[in-house]
Amino acid sequence: MKESALRQNQPDFVEVDYTPDAGERRFVLVVDDSKVQRKILTAMLKRWGFEVAEAASGQDAMDFCENHHVDFVLSDWMMPGMNGLEFCEAFRRLDRKGYGYFILLTSKSEKGEVARGLEVGADDFLTKPVNADELKARIAAGERILKMENELQEKNRLVSATLNELTELYDMVDRDLLEAKKLQQSLIRERFKDFGAAQVSLTLRSSGHVGGDLVGFFRVNEHQIGIWGIDVSGHGITSALMTARLAGNLSGRSPEQNVALESDENGGYRLRSPAEAADLLNTIVMNEMDTEHYFTLLIANIDLRTGEAVMCQAGHPHPVIQRADGSCESIGTGGMPVGLIDAAYYTDFTAKLSSGDRIIIPSDGVMECPDPDENLLDDEGVRAFMEANAELKGEKLLEAMIWYLTEYSGEKDFPDDVSAVLLEFSGNDT
């Protein structure tokens, strides 16, 4: 603001060096075609500690405001050329970083004129000749408004900065979760396996990036396999971490860690009863995992020669057996979830599969999928779906189930993770 062209060309314009900053004095622009009036107002304002500039016309004032910060404007209403009212309208159209408090100086007292001034953007009025005490009071009122505006700007700045930081953090977490989803999906190394006398298919879809469901299978020997489904309580990262830990406890690639297996006298491995495996998992969770999470479990030992399925249901939804003729039945004994209490007791139950029969082990996300009216699909709905799609096999059936749940829910996002194990028994027909 040093030796501007405006200052050089307008002898009635007095410019004062001023760079607005927090804690500095306010800057006032006095606009009046009367040099005497400007000097009177300027003297009062400087005495009160304000930085002051003067302009002799509305156009001069606009030229100044376009290039300089102004906190207060004291402008005469009646001026040649651009009058105070027109200047106020133009001032309000400026692209400013902060608010400018505008006081019109006038001899007008009609209510209609005052209302017109307020409509175009004036904040206050003073009647000429200006009384010093009244001017000081009006300036003080404007100061309170500017102070509140500054505080709001600072709060908005802090909020914006915080939102930017949160957005960056969210993006980072989102990227990590996408990678975590890939890793969790990789826990299911194979989604279909042909064991000769039986074929096993798996599906898993998390309600978020990662979830608490996991399904799997493992081979014990030429004649025996194990299948299982788990559903950890809750959703999200902690549930997913627990499924990763549990996947190791039911791994077919690391039989020495698989709680469903035990060493035999020949240096190999044999199946434990599913109930014993559930009990071991309960002990592991209660004694080794410092967590509030628990999980439901359905684990089954399948004899590929006889079709006998020995199962333990630990709070998991009921499996559904579909016979070769297409009819369905829900089986199971219920049971207590794993990791909930030390004294949980688990039992086995048995089902016999004949050639052409199949068994599906769904998670809560299937059974409790709600329609738009919050009616759950439930066991009956799963059986109805199986009966209606008896001709579909393997992965095609599981894909159809996902489509069916999507349609049933009204194409909303699933509120829970969806997973299932499908075992189709062909027996001696292979």
Band of residue 137 on the pLDDT scale cut at 50, 70, 90: very high
Q: pLDDT at residue 22 above 50?
A: no
Provide CATH 3.60.40.10 ranges for the chain. 187-429
pLDDT greater than 60 at residue 294: yes
Averaged pLDDT for residues 309-337:
95
What local confidence, expressed as pLDDT, does residue 376 receive? 94
The amino acid at 126: L
Q: How far apart are CA 125 and CA 102, in angstroms?
A: 9
* Segment 404-408 long-range contacts (CB within 8 Å, at least 24 positions apart): 405/366, 405/369, 405/377, 408/369, 408/371, 408/377, 408/381
- The answer to whether the pTM exceeds 0.85 is no
Task: Specify the pLDDT at position 11.
Answer: 37
Tell me what the mean pLDDT of segment 255-259 comes to.
89
Those residues whose C-beta lies under 8 Å from the C-beta of residue 260, and which sit 6 or more positions away, are 218, 226, 228, 250, 271, 272, 274, 277, 299, 301
Q: What is the mean pLDDT of residues 276-296?
A: 90
Cα separations in angstroms, 55 against 118, 123, 215:
22, 20, 80
HEC profile for 14-75? CCCCCCCCCCCCCEEEEECCCHHHHHHHHHHHHHCCCEEEEECCHHHHHHHHCCCCCCEEEE
Average pLDDT for residues 245-257, to the nearest whole number?
Answer: 85
Which CATH number is associated with domain 187-429? 3.60.40.10
CATH 3.40.50.2300 domain locations along the chain: 5-156
- What pLDDT is attached to residue 359? 98
Are the C-beta atoms of residues 289 and 307 closer than 8 Å to each other? no
Instruction: Summarize the confidence of residues 370-385 as an average pLDDT.
Output: 93
Residue 390, classified by CB atoms within 10 Å of its CB into exposed (0-12), middle (13-18) or buried (19+), is middle
For the ranges 90-104, 113-127, 260-274, 389-403, the maximum mean pLDDT occurs at 389-403
Lowest mean pLDDT among 188-197, 378-387, 410-419: 410-419
> What is the reported pLDDT for 6?
37
The pLDDT score that the predictor gives to residue 108 is 65
- Residue 218 scores a pLDDT above 90: yes
Query: Tokens in use for 242?
Result: 């627990």
pLDDT in tens, 46-63: 999 999 999 999 999 999
Please, what is the average pLDDT of the chain? 86
At 251, is the pLDDT very low, low, confident or very high (cuts 50, 70, 90)?
confident
In the CATH scheme, what is the homologous superfamily, with its name and number, of domain 5-156?
Response regulator (3.40.50.2300)
pLDDT tens, position by position, 166-185: 888 877 766 766 666 666 66
**Residue 54 confidence (pLDDT):** 94
Q: Look at residue 111 in the predicted model and tell me its pLDDT.
A: 66
Of 185 and 412, the one with more pLDDT: 412
Asked whether residue 259 carries a pLDDT value surpassing 50, the answer given is: yes
Q: How far are the Cα atoms of 1, 97, 347 from residue 60, in angstroms, in the given order?
A: 15, 21, 93
Mean pLDDT of 215-225: 93
- Pick the more confident residue, 397 or 247: 397
